[in-house]
């Protein structure tokens, strides 16, 4: 605005047409965007505010009974020993990781160092389709195929039943293969080209480059992939409920039915639990525990990813 | 005088063998992933392929297998996810625009929001059902077990995913677009609205379609919102009771009689077909987007 000297001439700079109107539009847009941004904060606050008051109150009434090996809060008299839910969850998640880690990591190494551009364009969608299979379909597969045709037939220990943690773990493993593959592939692909070329120049074979140089350089990202997949398996509800059943058995036999933390929420929450009832109180308690544990794993996983991004950018 | 030097080094047989084995293992893992899809789809198909017919789409859920179908859950899923998308997509897109273009990188506010969104994306789906139960079904809103409650919960679930994919798409727009517009006298908002946003649309669309297809397959949170019942009519509005595809499948599956297993498998095939079409659209869109960028 006003006059500006350019050499010995003076030039009149006037604001461009409709500037104030355009700036007003921008102001309105800015506030709208800010409002949208606060929505995500509101959701988080909502989660915390809905879970924790009920969870803490329930925890106080239960007290030390929570450390026990019998979980039956919906029965009379109720029992609140939470350990069976933890062993159930841990068994399912551990089996899932056992299935998914080798396949997922191999897929990631394949994508980052072995696949040609065109092969990548075929393999990525395959993993995406696998990632897109709804959990209820995976659950059905576990219930109708894995449990009766494999676990019941071939699992040697104990009396086989229609439900098993082994089947649930296997199917949950299918669910997290694509997560491990895609997050680890991102990490391995971020390793600078120069590192690969240096290794090739020293006479390393493709396997040595991929498994020793690239894999070690991208290790933090690979660990993050495993942590995020772990968190996903930990919170998976439908598969655990359909395949491992809804009986919280305290056992070390993976061929037995078990109940995971999240499966209990699905199980007890179906029946239109009344506010203040035992079912209502305990699902919020378990929900809070589930939320806290997955939160910790997610924070750690994401922090590792942020660190390696910083290192390579 | 010239001398020939052979640069071809010979690998020891052991290294060649291990390399070959490693390569085989990698291909095997891809083959296993593909095999899993095939295994799942083919076992569903063997169980229920013969049952597929248009009647299955037009009949309502029922315990009478000859007249059972999936019309109300299909329409219910459409309602719930449709409304959730209408809410979550603009909200997520605006949040992404704000964080990428206006909030300023690295300050405390945007870092906090970023952290929040990342962690929200990792919250187990069933927990969103709990917040729905506490605040929307009962609590402040008292909406009951309705389409509206379910859509609100699914929208919350979709929001962080849409924000994350939109931000990636926006980040991929070259800075020169903005700079060009600003140099011509556009306000930052005009540059964003007329240039950045249109260029980011293919990427955003791809990510959003994947978020939508994830939402269609989501079952856990709506277990808590009363969707696990036979609803033999289509929803008529936000206050209607409803059921959805995944939970109707769940319901059939929890009955141990053979014919209901078949029905559940048939429902799964229908659901997978819908999701497959959505995924295909997303993949094609992304192909178009990357080709454009590479030209």
Q: How far apart are the first and last CA of chain A?
A: 41
- Residues A38 and A131 grouped into a single domain: no
- Residues A26 and A168 grouped into a single domain: no
Please report whether residue B146 resides in a domain.
yes
The pLDDT, as a whole number, for residue A165 is 94
B100–A contact, CB cutoff 8 A: no
A239–B contact, CB cutoff 8 A: no
- Residues A112 and A201 grouped into a single domain: yes
- Residues A175 and A46 grouped into a single domain: no
The answer to whether the CB atoms of A43 and B119 lie below 8 A apart is no
B141–A contact, CB cutoff 8 A: no
Number of folded domains in chain B?
1
- Residues A13 and A101 grouped into a single domain: no
* Residue among A47, A104, A181 whose CB faces B123 most closely: A47
The pLDDT, as a whole number, for residue A1 is 47
ipTM of the complex: 0.89
CATH number of the structural domain spanning residue A213: 1.10.3720.10
A44–B contact, CB cutoff 8 A: yes
B87 Cβ partners below 8 Å, 6+ apart?
B151, B152, B155
Q: How far apart are the first and last CA of chain B?
A: 49
- Residues A51 and A100 grouped into a single domain: no
The answer to whether the CB atoms of B135 and A23 lie below 8 A apart is no
Stated pTM of the model: 0.89
- Residues A49 and A169 grouped into a single domain: no
Within 155-174 of B, beta carbons closer than 8 Å to A belong to 156, 159-160, 163
Per-residue pLDDT of chain B (295 residues; tens, 9 = 90+): 566 666 666 778 888 899 999 999 999 999 999 999 999 999 999 988 888 888 888 888 887 777 888 999 999 999 999 999 999 999 999 999 999 998 877 788 888 898 999 999 999 999 999 999 988 888 777 888 899 999 999 999 999 999 999 998 999 899 999 999 999 888 999 999 999 999 898 888 888 988 999 999 999 999 998 877 778 888 888 888 889 999 999 988 988 788 888 999 999 999 999 998 988 888 888 777 777 665 4
Please report whether residue B275 resides in a domain.
no
Please report whether residue B61 resides in a domain.
no
Q: B100, B171, B220, B268: best mutation site toward chain A, by most A Cβ within 10 Å?
A: B220
Residues of A in contact with B92 (CB under 8 A): 36
- Residues A80 and A13 grouped into a single domain: no
pLDDT per 10-residue tile (average), chain A, 313 residues: 65 73 92 93 94 94 87 87 94 97 96 92 87 94 92 83 92 96 92 93 92 92 92 94 91 91 92 81 94 94 85 72
Distance from CA of B293 to the nearest CA of A (A): 16
Within 182-201 of A, beta carbons closer than 8 Å to B belong to none
User: Given A28, A43, A66, which residue is the final one in a domain?
Assistant: A66
Burial B82-109 (b: 16+ CB within 10 A, else e): ebbbebbbebbbbbbbbbbbbbeeeeee
User: Given A23, A48, A66, which residue is the final one in a domain?
Assistant: A66
The pLDDT, as a whole number, for residue B132 is 92
Please report whether residue B229 resides in a domain.
yes
Pairwise CA distance, residues A115 & A118, whole Å? 8
The pLDDT, as a whole number, for residue B292 is 66
B273 Cβ partners below 8 Å, 6+ apart?
none
Quick check: B108 and B247 in contact, CB under 8 A? Answer: no
Pairwise CA distance, residues B184 & A79, whole Å? 71
Pairwise CA distance, residues A193 & B91, whole Å? 38
Distance from CA of B4 to the nearest CA of A (A): 20
CATH number of the structural domain spanning residue B228: 1.10.3720.10
Q: Where in the sequence is the domain holding A37, given as residue range(s)? A: 2-66
* Residue among B118, B264, B283 whose CB faces A302 most closely: B118
Pairwise CA distance, residues B242 & B282, whole Å? 28
- Residues A147 and A234 grouped into a single domain: yes
The answer to whether the CB atoms of A235 and B119 lie below 8 A apart is no
Q: Alpha-carbon torsion B123, B128, B129, B130, what sign?
A: positive
* Residue among A22, A36, A144 whose CB faces B187 most closely: A22
- Residues A242 and A221 grouped into a single domain: yes
- Residues A78 and A41 grouped into a single domain: no
A230–B contact, CB cutoff 8 A: no
Distance from CA of A147 to the nearest CA of B (A): 13
Hey, what are A47's tokens?
């989660």
For B139: left if phi > 0, alpha if psi spans -120 to 50, otherwise beta; the answer is: left
Q: Where in the sequence is the domain holding B222, given as residue range(s)? A: 77-244
Name the residue of chain B whose CA is nearest to A178's CA. Answer: B33
Number of folded domains in chain A?
2
B26–A contact, CB cutoff 8 A: yes
The pLDDT, as a whole number, for residue B244 is 92
Quick check: A97 and A226 in contact, CB under 8 A? Answer: yes
Inter-CA distances, B226 with A46, A121, B66, B92, Å: 20, 41, 26, 27
In which residue are the tokens 């997303």 written?
B282
Inter-CA distances, B216 with A58, A197, A291, B78, Å: 33, 44, 23, 8
Name the residue of chain A whose CA is nearest to B263's CA. Answer: A140
- Residues A307 and A237 grouped into a single domain: yes
User: Given A37, A66, A95, which residue is the final one in a domain?
Assistant: A66
Hey, what are B92's tokens?
């997520």
Quick check: B124 and A234 in contact, CB under 8 A? Answer: yes
Quick check: B51 and B212 in contact, CB under 8 A? Answer: no
Please report whether residue B113 resides in a domain.
yes
Residues of A in contact with B26 (CB under 8 A): 106-107, 109-110, 114
The pLDDT, as a whole number, for residue B227 is 76
Angle (CA) B112-B115-B119 rounded to 5° is 140
């Amino acid at each position: 605005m006003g006059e500006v000297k350019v050499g010995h001439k003076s030039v009149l700079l006037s604001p461009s047409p409709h500037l104030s109107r355009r700036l007003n539009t921008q102001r309105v847009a800015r506030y709208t965007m800010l409002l949208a941004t606060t929505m995500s904060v509101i959701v988080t606050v909502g989660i915390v505010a809905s879970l924790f008051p009920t969870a803490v109150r329930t925890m106080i009434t239960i007290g030390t009974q929570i450390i026990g090996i019998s979980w039956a809060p919906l029965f009379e008299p109720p029992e609140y020993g939470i350990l069976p839910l933890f062993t159930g969850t841990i068994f399912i998640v551990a089996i899932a990781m056992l299935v998914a880690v080798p396949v997922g990591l191999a897929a990631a190494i394949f994508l980052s160092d072995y696949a040609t551009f065109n092969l990548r364009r075929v393999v990525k969608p395959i993993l995406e389709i696998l990632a897109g299979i709804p959990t209820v379909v995976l659950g059905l597969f576990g219930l109708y195929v894995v449990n009766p045709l494999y676990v019941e037939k071939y699992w040697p220990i104990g009396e086989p039943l229609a439900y098993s943690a082994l089947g649930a773990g296997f199917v949950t493993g299918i669910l997290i293969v694509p997560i491990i593959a895609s997050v680890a592939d991102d990490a391995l692909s971020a390793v600078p080209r120069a590192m690969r070329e240096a290794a090739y120049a020293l006479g390393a074979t493709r396997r040595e480059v991929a498994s020793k140089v690239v894999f070690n350089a991208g290790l933090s990202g690979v660990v993050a992939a495993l942590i995020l997949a772990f968190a996903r398996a930990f919170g998976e509800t439908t598969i655990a409920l359909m395949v491992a059943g809804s009986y919280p058995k305290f056992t070390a036999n993976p061929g037995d039915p078990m109940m995971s933390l999240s499966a209990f929420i699905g199980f007890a929450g179906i029946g239109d639990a009344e506010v203040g009832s035992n079912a209502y109180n305990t699902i919020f308690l378990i929900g809070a525990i589930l939320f806290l544990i997955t939160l910790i794993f997610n924070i750690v996983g994401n922090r590792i990813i942020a660190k390696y991004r910083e290192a390579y950018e | 005088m010239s001398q020939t030097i052979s640069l071809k080094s010979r690998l020891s047989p052991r290294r060649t063998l291990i390399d070959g084995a490693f390569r085989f293992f990698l291909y095997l893992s891809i083959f296993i992933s593909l095999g899993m899809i095939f295994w799942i789809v083919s076992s569903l198909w063997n169980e229920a392929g013969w049952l597929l017919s248009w009647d299955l789409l037009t009949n309502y859920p029922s315990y009478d297998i000859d007249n059972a179908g999936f019309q109300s859950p299909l329409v219910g899923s459409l309602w719930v996810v449709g409304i959730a998308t209408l809410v979550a997509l603009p909200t997520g897109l605006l949040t992404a625009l704000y964080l990428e273009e206006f909030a300023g990188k690295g300050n405390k506010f945007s870092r906090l929001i970023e952290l929040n969104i990342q962690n929200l994306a990792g919250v187990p789906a069933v927990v969103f059902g709990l917040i729905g139960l506490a605040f929307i079904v009962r609590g402040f809103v008292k909406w009951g077990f309705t389409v509206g409650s379910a859509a609100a919960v699914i929208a919350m679930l979709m929001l962080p995913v849409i924000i994350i994919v939109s931000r990636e798409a926006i980040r991929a727009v070259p800075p020169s677009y903005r700079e060009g517009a600003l140099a011509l006298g556009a306000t930052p908002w005009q540059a964003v609205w007329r240039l950045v946003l249109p260029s980011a649309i293919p990427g955003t669309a791809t990510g959003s379609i994947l978020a939508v297809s994830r939402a269609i397959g989501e079952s856990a949170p709506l277990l808590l919102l009363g969707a696990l019942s036979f609803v033999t009519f289509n929803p008529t509005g936000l206050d209607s009771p409803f059921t959805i595809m995944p939970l109707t499948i769940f319901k059939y599956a929890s009955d141990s009689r053979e014919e209901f297993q078949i029905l559940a498998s048939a429902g799964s095939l229908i659901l997978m077909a819908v999701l497959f079409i959505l995924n295909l659209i997303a993949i094609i869109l992304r192909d178009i987007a990357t080709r454009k960028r590479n030209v």
